[in-house]
Amino acid sequence: MTLIRARIVLPVTSAPIENGAIAIDGRRVSWVGRFPDAPFYEASNVFDLGDAILLPGLINAHCHLDYTALAGKIPPLKSFTDWIKSLVALKAEWTIDDYARSWRQGAEMLLRSGTTTVADIEAVVELLPSAWSETPLRIVSFREIINLKPDGAQEMAARTAAELAACAGAEGHIGLSPHAPYTTTTELLRASAAEARQRAWRLTTHVAESAEEFDMFTLAGGPLYQWLQSQRDMRDCGNVTPVQHLEKIGYMGEDLLAVHVNYLGPNDAETLSKAGVHVVHCPRSHAYFGHRAFPFETLTAQNVNVCLGTDSLVTVRSPPSGPPTLNLFLEMGAFSRRFPDVAPNEVLRMATLNAAIALGRRGALGELRQNATADVIAIPFTGAVSDVYEASVHHAGPVTASMIRGQWAITPDATGLNQQSRARPQA
């Protein structure tokens, strides 16, 4: 047994606990409460984190770890289509080793900044499964699928799923990611959904990310339409929004994480809600492209579950203080500045509980409660308990401790934190 004490324990799904503690038994949380009331465990390790907030590990619901080292390579462009072309050109210059180094760099950034679980879009399947063993992070790898031709869609989806399932240690760590409605076909989307649902996997897809994608489907026109019309069958375009297109072909469901969803038609939020689709918003990526305002109020008015992701560093502007980093705290801060009327506790849920729900892991991840997986992080805090959510949302700097599956990923380094104790903890 391990007991971890902190000035504030923040379970997320219940009120902050002053002078709180959690007990860890193997990979699970066995108890949460006030430190003076902690159960006594003979010869247990007691970690006193001092002036800190202990909270669930953050869950990054959308990331491209492969692209981390491409930070700053593409300046913001007026045309989303031109940006896509630039990314394709950059990727063509990279080797497998380049992608592997970039992946590891991104994983390290997330670990240092408090993420414990990441939904990663894997474009380079050759990195799996070895990449999973190179980080303590819980990685859910969604295999990206892009194909503009209708022929062979079922075979492609089946082959992709089989190759992914064959990776050692894949169980519970994989899903499929048909890239976007404009880079796939109806046949591929249906086949991918069938494969994922047969295997009880999650799906994730970029949906209604740009105005140019929205125009491609609603108007059968615009730069994206013009670029792709010689490469794919465009008969699925015209008088339909991207959301309506996915609903029409039976793609949507409670297992789908729809990423971005920046451009909605009049009834699209209701359609998403009825299907139980989860939406992943990436605030800094949204700002990079200069999209119109994210429809947060419209989505939440229909009870759509909204969570947060970092996207990749390709779509993050470099801050004045130095190079950009993958960091969910920065995403929460950016969201909070854009939506100041959203309570900080709700913002924190978007990076913890809401993301756990989207990944089908409610009760196990994203909250501190009995029988939850022991994924916890700590950040320094000396303020008033009433400010704990605000401090969490706007935290700057690395975390001071991180535990994943009951094992320290970042060990507390303050003097005296790791001590054997045979005495009952005192107040």
CATH top class, domain 58-358: alpha beta
Predicted local confidence at residue 247, as pLDDT? 97
**Cα 77 from chain centre:** 25
Which ranges of the chain have pLDDT less than 50? 43, 414-427
In this prediction, residue 46 carries a pLDDT of: 87
What pLDDT is attached to residue 157? Answer: 96
Q: Which residue is listed with tokens 């960091």?
A: 327
Predicted local distance difference test score (pLDDT) of residue 420: 31
Hey, where are the domains in the chain?
A: 2-56+367-421, 58-358
2-56+367-421 and 58-358: same fold? Answer: no
| pLDDT number for residue 421 | 30
Residues paired with residue 402 on neighbouring β-strands, in sequence order: 377, 410
**Contact at 8 Å (CB) between 281 and 308?**
yes
Cis peptide before 129 (omega within 30 of 0): yes
Homologous superfamily of domain range 2-56+367-421 = Urease, subunit C, domain 1 (2.30.40.10)
pLDDT value of residue 128: 93
> Residue 411 is which amino acid?
T
Q: How much is the pLDDT for 44?
A: 56
Q: Calculate the dihedral angle through the C-alpha atoms of 209, 236, 146, 246, rounding to the nearest 10 degrees.
A: 60
Tokens representing residue 143 in the block: 């295999």
CA–CA distances in Å: residue 67 to residues 40, 91, 122, 322, 382: 47, 9, 10, 18, 37
